[in-house]
Amino acid sequence: MPSSVRPEVVLLITKLDLNHPDARKRPYHRDGRPFTRAERDLLTTFTPEEKTAAIAQIQLEAEWQRELDEMKNAFVDLLMKYFAKLAKGSVVSDAVAIMTDEDYTEFERLAEIVTAEDTLEYRALHEGS
């Protein structure tokens, strides 16, 4: 039996910005763009199964973002542990040079997922929130 869930409809539902100030009048994408007429027409045809699939997808994306945020924080924490031992103005390669084997393995794992620049920017924007 073919699936009754249309991926394009699920995607539209997941892109809805329900907090947009004008959301009661028309649907908006999370990036602020209003839905096109074709998107609005398609959105009005969603089924309960598609709504359920969209909710599940939104939950998966939220969990993925939480995990990514945790990895970014772990990456920064790992580097800061070594920067605390180094002179002001040191760079990542200085910290890597004095890491234990165990920490270096963790550094390599996390570095594939996040970069120091992205992570430090993230911490600067979200520290204390």
Query: In the prediction, which pLDDT does 129 show?
Result: 45
Query: In the prediction, which pLDDT does 113 show?
Result: 82
Q: What is the pLDDT along the chain (129 residues), one digit of tens a residue?
A: 456 899 999 999 999 998 999 888 899 999 999 999 999 999 999 999 999 999 999 999 999 889 889 998 999 999 999 999 999 999 999 999 999 999 999 999 898 887 645 655 656 665 654
pTM of the predicted protein model: 0.66
Query: In the prediction, which pLDDT does 65 show?
Result: 87
Query: In the prediction, which pLDDT does 1 show?
Result: 46
Query: In the prediction, which pLDDT does 122 show?
Result: 57
Per the CB < 8 A criterion, the answer to whether 86 and 98 are in contact is yes
Tokens (6 digits) for 98:
């004095």
